[in-house]
Structures are given as C-alpha cells and as structure tokens.
Structure 1
C-alpha cells in the first residue's frame, strides 16, 4: 500500500457518488484535505437517494429525495465543496443499473464539461452494492483518456466476498490517513441524518451501522488505481 499525496493529484478533481453519503464515507478526509489546500473539487451525484426508506409515509420518495439532496450538499460544504460545484443527475436510486444509457452518459459528460477533470474518484468496480457497480459501468468510457481514475470502496470491508477485492495484479492500492480531517469527515457523515435513524416510520429502512461509521472514521481511506488505466 502506498500513501496518497493529495497535492500530487491533477485537478480539477471530481468525486462521483452513487448515493448521498458515499463521498463522505469513502472520501471525506481526502476531499477535506484537498479543499484545505485550495484545490478545485467538484461533486457529481448520480441517483436521487429516494429508495432508502420505501415504506415511510412521513418521507415519501419526492420528499426523501429532496432532503437527501440537501444533506449531500450540506455534507460537502463541511468538506469544503461549495454548492456551486455540485451536480445531481437524479437517476433512480436502487435501479441505476437500468439506466446505463447513452442519455445518462451524456449527462455525465455535460457535468464534467463544467470543469474538465484531471482526477476522478469513482466507486470501485466490484463494491458490493448494485448501484455502486452500475456507477462504475456508467463512468466507463466517459472519462477523458488522460484523467486519473481512483476507485474508492464503501461496502467492501463489510460485505465484500473474496472475489470482490482487487487482485494484486489489477490495482495499486493507495491509502490516505483520516488524521487531521477526522472531525470534518465526521461532521459530513453526520449531515446525513435520514440515514442515521431520523426516519422512524419505516422499521426496515436503511440505517448506517455505527460500526461502519466508526470504521470509516478510523481510516485509512483506500483508493485503487488500475494498472490498465482504470474505468476510462
């Protein structure tokens, strides 16, 4: 494993999140460090985030999607990414794999056209969540050939089977210590109140496990750089 030097990353840097909170859990410390260093950071949200509590009457999907979008931007602001540098596509949470279309890829290209990426943080190809895997495939072929692609995992430590993990001949693993940016990362995660027990009328709805949050805050953050050039 190689320590990641944030100042060595070409900018502008984009972080691509399948759902609101993925960027905070997977990349929060790195984003905070980049912003602190004055680097230009952008964020792209792929889905509407509205499927986490499908049985809630207090938070029907349109309301939940709107609240989660606000939480996403709040958390990113904590990490130093202003709302003006955020783009949300609003694709269906829980069904991203059904939207790997030319139209969706055109939306991604249009977002990146606002600031041509030097580096993109995107989900690991085999992160064990269907939307995360779909996000990787959506980005495949969209990134400029000279863009550095670093893949981050959110669910791999908790849910990954052996075959989900990168092979030694497949990637170089880079690590970034949470360290001085732990507080910012913790506050960014805490912004996602709907995922931390706020919604009480859907007992089967999603709640981030305290153990997962603790692991994310302990770090280090892990990034995978492919020997073959990544998802581009």
Structure 2
C-alpha cells in the first residue's frame, strides 16, 4: 500500500559503513530483496558478509524426491551460489540452521547469542535484514534478536513480501522510518543469476503440489526493482 510509504530517497551504496552484513531468514530472501545492493557493494570492493538464519527445509514438506535433509543441503548450496553471483564468497557466509517456519518459536536470546557469535568474525557496521513487519513470521521474528546483536550498527530493513502481501499497517509510517530506494540498473543481470540459483524455489521440485514456488510476477517485480529499504527514525 504505497499511500503510507514515506517518500523514498535514492540510496548511495558507498555511504554504508562496512563491513556490511546481510541477514536472510531463508535462502533467497537476500537475492530477492537486496541483490542489487549487494552486487553494487561487492563491485565497489566493499566487504560484504551474509548470515542465514533458518535451514530452509520447510518449503516442500510433501516431497519424497527432496526429503528434508536433502532439501536443507540443497538450499544451503543454492544460497551460497546465489551470493557468489552477487560477489559474496562462501568464506564470508555463516548459516545458523534454525528451523524454517518456526523462528518465532525459537528463544530470541538464543538467536541473538548465535548471531553475535557469527558477527564476531567481522562486527557489522551496517546490517541489512527484512523490514520488521515484512509479512512472513520468520522475517518478523528476526528483527529483534538481530538488531540487538549488533547494537550501534546502521540498520536497513529490506522489503521482500511487502508489495505482494503487505497490509497498510505493515508499511512504515512517515514518522517511523526513512525510506530509501535503489534502482536495480546495471546489477540486474547479477541479481537475476542470484535468484535463478534457487532452483528449488522456482519449480524444480515437482512431486509436492502443495510446496512453495516463487510466483513469476513476484520474481519480475524483484528483478525490475527498485529495491526498497527502511531505516527507523530514533525516537
């Protein structure tokens, strides 16, 4: 609901202090929500690191071809391949392996502890993660523990599902957050390769009719951009 969206300003990637960490509740969130920003940062030689919160194993619970253990392994491989397409090497990634679809039932203090341990390799000066009310329970559950784990960092919430599923109250109010926008532009090809790496989410799992598949329209919207970011206004 764009009527409640604060007027966005263009985001200059080079104004973000580094290291920059991107946190993804699920494999593919970062490719869809902020792939162009990650590609721009990497192309400029900035240090970018990535943290995966859940194991991604709940997208196709009825598949026999991809039982959970296989799906978890496949999605981790896809996540790292997608990040590599954006310029983030595997050695700069960390995966917590928390249960997909159940992050809100995890102890927030334990999630914070695990995130702090991951961040210790290179404490973040900027943290990218889904906006606090992005409409998925795992996305919403990530905000509190992760922002607590990197107090003092600049935090930008990226939009994943807001355009498709967000209610008016999910979007930030003008007094709540500053809105930033980033044109996908020259980084569209890299972002498209990153999204394409997530084959399990794009229809390659064919024996679970009730399983999750990214809608083509959502993928087109993510690739065409612009990417949206929200930065809370202190107060």
Q: Same fold (TM over 0.5)?
A: yes
Q: How does 1:181-200 map to 2 (within 5 A)?
A: 181-200=187-206
My pick for the range that moved more, 185-194 or 134-143, is 134-143
Pick one of 28, 33, 48 that aligns with 1:26. 33
Inter-partner Cα distance in structure 2 for 1:217 and 1:104: 31
Whether 2:154 is the aligned partner of 1:154: answer no
Q: How does 1:106-185 map to 2 (within 5 A)?
A: 106-145=113-152, 147-185=153-191
Inter-partner Cα distance in structure 1 for 2:187 and 2:147: 30
Pick one of 58, 71, 93 that aligns with 2:65. 58
Inter-partner Cα distance in structure 2 for 1:54 and 1:216: 26
On the 8 A contact 2:109/2:145 being kept in 1, the answer is: no
- Alpha-carbon RMSD: 0.9
Aligned to 2:109: 102
Aligned to 2:85: 78
Inter-partner Cα distance in structure 2 for 1:9 and 1:137: 21
Whether 2:58 is the aligned partner of 1:17: answer no
Inter-partner Cα distance in structure 2 for 1:87 and 1:185: 20
How many angstroms does 1:117 deviate by? 0.6
The 3-state SS of whatever aligns with 1:173 is strand
On the 8 A contact 1:100/1:138 being kept in 2, the answer is: no
How many angstroms does 1:105 deviate by? 1.3
Can you give the 5+ residue segments of structure 2 that lack an aligned partner in the other structure? Answer: 1-7
What is the TM-score normalised by the length of structure 1?
0.97
Inter-partner Cα distance in structure 1 for 2:189 and 2:17: 25
Can you give the 5+ residue segments of structure 1 that lack an aligned partner in the other structure? Answer: none
Inter-partner Cα distance in structure 2 for 1:151 and 1:193: 25
Q: How many residues align?
A: 228
On the 8 A contact 1:100/1:134 being kept in 2, the answer is: no
Pick one of 201, 209, 213 that aligns with 1:203. 209
Whether 2:97 is the aligned partner of 1:90: answer yes
How many angstroms does 1:91 deviate by? 0.1
Render the CA deviation track for 1:168-189: whole Å, top value 9, x for unaligned. 1101100010000000000000
Inter-partner Cα distance in structure 1 for 2:118 and 2:136: 24
How many angstroms does 1:102 deviate by? 2.3
Inter-partner Cα distance in structure 1 for 2:90 and 2:107: 26
